[in-house]
Amino acid sequence: MAAKRPRRERLPSPSSDEEALPLEHRIDKCPIPVGKNVDLASFAFDAPSFYIEDYFVAMGWVSLITLDEKVYPNIMKEFYKDLVFSLGSGITCMVRNKRLKITRDLIRSILHLEDCDLRIFSSQTIRHLEGYNPVETCSRVMGKHFEEARRLSTNQLTLTCRVLHNIISHIIVPRKGHPDEVNHFDVFLFNSILVERKLDFPYIVLHHMNTVHRGHRPMALPYGMILTKIFQHCQVSFCDEVVISPKPTDTINIHTLKRMKIIKKDGQWVAQSKRFNDESGTLYFAS
């Protein structure tokens, strides 16, 4: 009878280590991005073909994506450490000795958003949405790259959806990770914006906050600017608090397109990919 091979000890992954940390220690280790906002005037004047303002006017999210507030990291950490989520009543927590109750109605009122009945946060829910066609959706958001794509990334998206991905990953569902990563919920959001399917944004906020609190994976603490508005509404004191102010690079505008390697050539916006030289020796990029 052959001797049993010794069992190999499985090494814990970095994500498992972070999830195993006590809640307070894990939250303390989470980065706090200040967040971003969108300069709609820049897109309307310099890149009207992206229709960014039109899309977000139709969604009723203009006040959300143009929000420009300072962020208070220590108060944010206190919020995420004490957060208690209830599916029916929202979030309750203690912040600076104040009991806060954050509901969808409160977020909607503070951000001046429209009421909406379509509440979706998970990919599992999307599958059961009436009229949702995943093939049509992928074709719409990926364009000519639909047939060749095997793994979702920004390189397979249309140029408009690449800009939408930047907005979504920094404002709508902010998270830590590689900037080119695209998940199935992102694709659903792209499609919803393109077809003007209105969604309940406060519902997304509350569920995303709860996901971060529960530590499903290492994540940056999201919605700093929105939380500042909530803290102001609830009269939380900012006296002697550490504050982070947005920088010019935290605004998504025409300069962001250049950083995303989207340029204008012969009157059209194209993605930088193949490089070539013309007769004068000038270096160009084209899709």
Q: Which amino acid is at 142?
A: M
Q: What pLDDT is stored for residue 74 in this prediction?
A: 97
Contacts of 87 (CB under 8 A, 6+ apart): none
Within a 13 Å sphere around the CA of 208, how many CA atoms are in the beta-carbon half?
A: 27
What are the pLDDT digits (tens) for 132-172? Answer: 888 888 889 988 777 655 678 898 899 999 999 999 999 99
Q: Give the type of residue at 150.
A: R
What local confidence, expressed as pLDDT, does residue 216 receive? 57
Task: Say what the pLDDT of residue 69 is.
Answer: 98
Q: How far apart are CA 82 and CA 165, in angstroms?
A: 30
Q: What is the mean pLDDT of residues 263-271?
A: 91
Burial of residue 180 (number of CB atoms within 10 Å: 0-12, 13-18, 19+): middle
Token couple for 94:
């203690």
pLDDT of 201 higher than 80 = yes
C-beta neighbour count of 245 within 10 angstroms: 10
Q: CA-CA distance, 104 to 107, in Å (whole number)?
A: 5
Under a CB-based contact definition with an 8 Å cutoff, are residues 205 and 64 in contact?
no
Q: What is the pLDDT of residues 206-231, one digit of tens each?
A: 999 999 998 756 579 999 999 999 99
